């Protein structure tokens, strides 16, 4: 019961993300602390984060496509090819990631460095009785605007919704302001998802997070929440006892 209570009172964006992908994954990754082999998507995400971080650190006049190419080369050269399904996949993903990073980063026209660059914040959300942690990848703040950006390998609609509401609730609690714009760039499909939050979204966000907290605490619903389609690419596929757990879910987090 101790771990269960801890998880319901102190949540991170990574915990909730794992829970949305699959409740059992959350269990293996953060509670049972089984070592998960790093998969290629995590590796690509790490490279994207490093390129974005390094790029925004540059003086504005040095930000260009050539610089992005050299940053990608610098970080991609350390990526182990054997983590990918094939050599073709390794090179195809590298080309796609490079194209999209160039396409989106070179269109950034704000010469002022972001106020936050991959900074983690923690806040108490009293409506939920939860301490919540969230990393802001890129946040641009001026007197007249507040824009939050994230560069992801990929994101399904439920993940985009999570990020949208987490950002709004968090921004309001920590900065007393909701972002004027939230942008999520998903590299593998080359899409920019742009949202313009409204004050009403704050209440929706609180209700959404209440629902997540409720589902987290109700392990009897876990069997309805996971989908087999995730299992094929899950790093816990070899150790997962989802079948054996059927009927014993109430003890899962206790
Ligand atoms: S193998 Fe399937 S059910 Fe098990 S943790 Fe992974 S995604 Fe979830």
**Shared-domain flag, residues 92 and 159:** no
The response to whether residue 20 sits with its C-beta less than 6 Å from ligand 1 reads: no
Q: What are the backbone angles phi and psi of residue 91, rounded to the nearest 5°?
A: -75, -35
Give me the phi and psi of 119, to 5 degrees please: -105, 135
Please enumerate in sequence order all residues whose Cβ is within 8 A of that of 29, keeping only pairs 6 or more positions apart, or say none. 18, 36, 236
* Of 28, 224, 236, 246, best ligand 1 pocket probe by most atoms within 8 Å of the beta carbon: 236
Tokens encoding 58: 């540059």
**Residue 69 included in any domain:** yes
- Pocket lining: 236 vs ligand 1, CB cutoff 6 Å: yes
Final residue of a domain: which of 105, 128, 147?
Answer: 105
| Tokens found for residue 64 | 């260009």
Same-domain check for residues 172 and 100? no
Whether the predicted model's global pTM rises above the 0.85 cut: yes
Per residue of the chain (254 residues), what is the pLDDT tens digit? 344 566 678 888 888 888 888 888 888 877 776 666 778 999 999 999 999 999 999 999 999 999 999 999 999 999 999 999 999 999 999 999 999 999 999 999 888 889 999 999 999 999 989 999 999 999 999 888 899 999 999 998 999 999 999 999 999 999 999 999 999 999 999 999 999 999 999 999 999 999 988 888 877 777 767 777 778 778 788 778 776 544 444 444 44
Concatenated DSSP letters for 135-194? Answer: EEEEEEE-SS-EEEEEEES---HHHHHHHHHHHHHHHHHHHSS--SEEEEEETTTTEEEE
Angstrom distance (rounded) from CA 207 to CA 214: 10
Residue 134 sits in the same domain as residue 201: yes
Overall domain count for the chain: 2
Would residue 15 count as lying in a domain?
no
pLDDT of residue 14: 86
Distance 14 CA to ligand 1 centre (A): 16
**Does 183 fall in a domain?**
yes
Task: Give the pLDDT confidence score for residue 6 in this predicted structure.
Answer: 67
Examine the fold and report which residue of 105, 129, 149 is the final residue of a domain before the chain moves on.
105
Domain of residue 87 covers: 40-105
The closest residue, in CA terms, to atom 2 on ligand 1 is 231
Check if the beta carbon of residue 162 is closer than 8 Å to that of residue 20. yes
Number of neighbouring beta carbons within 10 Å of residue 9: 13
139 and 170, same domain (yes or no) = yes
Question: Given the CA of residue 240, which atom of ligand 1 is nearest to it?
Answer: 4
Residue 158 sits in the same domain as residue 94: no
Does 232 reside within a domain?
no
Query: Is 127 in the same domain as 58?
Result: no
Atom of ligand 1 nearest to the CA of 234: 6
Whether 220 maps to a domain, the answer reads no
Among candidate residues 171, 187, 208, the one where a domain is terminated: 208
Q: What is the pLDDT, as a whole number, of residue 244?
A: 53
Per-residue pLDDT tens digits for 33-83: 666 677 899 999 999 999 999 999 999 999 999 999 999 999 999 999 999
CA distances 13 to 26, 37, 158, 167, Å, are 12, 20, 13, 10
User: What span, in angstroms and rounded, lies between the C-alpha atoms of 187 and 185?
Assistant: 6
pLDDT of residue 3: 46
- What pairs with residue 184 in β-bridges? 150, 193
CA distance readout (Å), 246 to 21, 32, 171: 18, 18, 39
Closest by CA to 167, choosing from 88, 159, 244, is 159
Note the pLDDT of residue 12: 87
Separation between Cα atoms, residue 133 and residue 124, nearest integer Å: 9
The answer to whether residue 252 is domain-embedded is no
Distance 223 CA to ligand 1 centre (A): 10
Find the 81 Cα to ligand 1 centroid distance in Å. Answer: 25
**Is residue 86 helix, strand or coil?**
coil
């Amino acid at each position: 019961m101790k771990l269960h209570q801890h998880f319901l009172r102190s949540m991170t964006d990574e915990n909730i993300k794992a829970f949305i992908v699959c409740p059992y994954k959350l269990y293996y990754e953060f509670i049972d602390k089984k070592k998960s082999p790093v998969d290629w998507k995590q590796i690509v995400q790490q490279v994207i984060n490093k390129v974005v971080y390094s790029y925004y650190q540059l003086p504005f006049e040095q930000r260009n496509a050539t610089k992005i190419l050299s940053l990608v080369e610098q970080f991609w050269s350390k990526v182990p090819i054997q983590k990918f399904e094939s050599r073709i996949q390794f090179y195809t993903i590298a080309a796609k990631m490079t194209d999209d990073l160039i396409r989106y980063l070179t269109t950034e026209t704000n010469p002022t460095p972001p106020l936050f660059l991959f900074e983690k914040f923690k806040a108490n959300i009293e409506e939920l009785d939860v301490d919540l942690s969230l990393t802001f990848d890129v946040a641009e703040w001026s007197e007249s605007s507040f824009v939050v950006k994230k560069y992801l390998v990929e994101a399904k609609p439920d993940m985009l919704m999570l990020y949208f509401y987490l950002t709004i609730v968090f921004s309001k609690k920590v900065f007393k302001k909701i972002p004027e714009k939230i942008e999520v760039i998903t590299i593998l499909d080359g899409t920019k998802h742009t949202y313009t939050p409204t004050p009403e979204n704050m209440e929706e966000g609180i209700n959404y997070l209440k629902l997540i907290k409720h589902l987290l605490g109700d392990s009897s619903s876990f069997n309805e929440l996971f989908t087999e389609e995730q299992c094929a690419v899950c790093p816990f596929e070899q150790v997962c006892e989802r079948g054996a757990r059927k009927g014993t879910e109430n003890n899962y987090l206790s």
